[in-house]
Amino acid sequence: ELKEMIRLLGIANNNINQVAKTANSNGSIDVKTYKTNYIELQKLIDEIMLLIRAPTKMEDIWQLPKSGQ
């Protein structure tokens, strides 16, 4: 679940960067691109929120590899 959340955050970050890049290069925001990215970003946020709210089994946490392993 954590890996999935990190993956979704990466996708969300890319969408935000696309909007910023377009705005900086054009001096304005393309409304169609902005709306498309906004909708995709909202879907990703919804998925992340589901993962955050999902119950976690303690056995799964204890079996996670330690940092650096």
| pLDDT on residue 58 | 61
19 and 33 Cβ atoms separated by less than 8 Å: yes
| pLDDT on residue 65 | 65
C-alpha 22/C-alpha 29 separation (Å) is 6
| pLDDT on residue 61 | 59
6-26: pLDDT as tens digits: 888 888 888 888 888 888 888
34-65: pLDDT as tens digits: 888 888 888 888 888 888 887 766 666 566 66
C-alpha 49/C-alpha 57 separation (Å) is 18
